Amino acid sequence: MGHAIQVSDVTKAYPLAAGEFVAVKDLSLDIEQGEFVAIVGRSGSGKTTLLNLLAGIDRPTSGTVRVADADLGSLSESGLAAWRGQSVGLVFQFFQLLPTLTVIENVMLPMDFAKKIPIAQRRDRAQQLLDRMGVGTQANKVPATLSGGQQQRAAIARALANDPPILLADEPTGNLDSTTADAVLELFADLNADGQTIVVVTHERDIRSIVGREVTLVDGRVVTDERAGASA
């Protein structure tokens, strides 16, 4: 299958008045194509920093981050932006849909930016993604009229707009009630069953029943890395 993600000896330190804060320390992690991996840990464990490194939002202080066949440290800011538009889909805790655009326009926006999908196909593709996420009937509404769960489904459709090889999600269920959260996690499981590589940062206690692998961080280091058993 090959590696989707290779993190090698990565440290990320932030300068503070009192010295530096090391968010991620000598961390190495390989993720294969087609894996569904949860990154778990308490607040301050480094998990969101790690996700930001994978998304090319943060750059490592030292070490290398390779994602979707690119060495992120070697890319310029504009190169990173272009790579991100093609290679990763991002899902956030607070959805981050643009309030003045309709739901379908929100999903089309990354396609207009990356220019990977031909113009004539963009609206149809956006509608198909919304249908698949179960919110096709909400396509022409503005986000504020949707429930939180519907907004997150629309945000996942947007993340998938350019058919990225890797989906990165930061606390995607953190703003949802438990029933809605379970439904969203099942959606991720369905996408993974179709071959989508997914990395999710989460506080969810029972994520292990859904993901194939759980990586626990403490103080910026991997302390456990467990794959689900065959019985799972």
Q: Measure Cα distances from 60 to 64, 142, 188, 220 in Å.
A: 7, 37, 28, 13
| Cβ-contact 36, 192 below 8 angstroms | yes
What is the pLDDT at residue 85? 84
pLDDT at 89 over 50: yes
pLDDT at 1 over 80: no
| Residue/partner pairs of 139-144 with CB below 8 Å, 24 or more apart | 139/102, 139/103, 139/104, 140/102, 140/103, 140/104, 141/102, 141/103, 142/99, 142/100, 142/101, 142/102, 142/103, 143/95, 143/97, 143/98, 143/99, 143/101, 143/103, 143/106, 144/99
* Residue located via tokens 């932006």: 81
**Which class for 16: exposed (0-12), middle (13-18), buried (19 or more C-beta within 10 A)?**
exposed
| Cβ-contact 70, 121 below 8 angstroms | no
Give the rounded percent of residues in the chain with a pLDDT score beyond 70. 97
Distance of alpha carbon 191 from alpha carbon 186, whole angstroms = 9
pLDDT at 53 over 90: yes
Q: Which residues contact 35 (CB under 8 A, 6 or more apart)?
A: 4, 197, 198, 212, 213
Distance of alpha carbon 77 from alpha carbon 228, whole angstroms = 37
Mean of pLDDT over the chain: 89
Dihedral of CA 209/213/218/219: which sign?
A: negative
Distance of alpha carbon 61 from alpha carbon 72, whole angstroms = 12
What is the pLDDT at residue 128? 93
**Which class for 137: exposed (0-12), middle (13-18), buried (19 or more C-beta within 10 A)?**
exposed
Across 163-177, 183-197, 218-232, least confident range = 218-232
Domain chopping of the chain, boundaries: 34-46+74-227
What is the pLDDT at residue 232? 38
Q: Is domain 34-46+74-227 in CATH 3.60.40.10, yes or no?
A: no
Convert the pLDDT of each residue in 20-43 to its tens digit: 888 999 999 999 999 999 999 888
pTM assigned to the model? 0.90
pLDDT at 111 over 70: yes
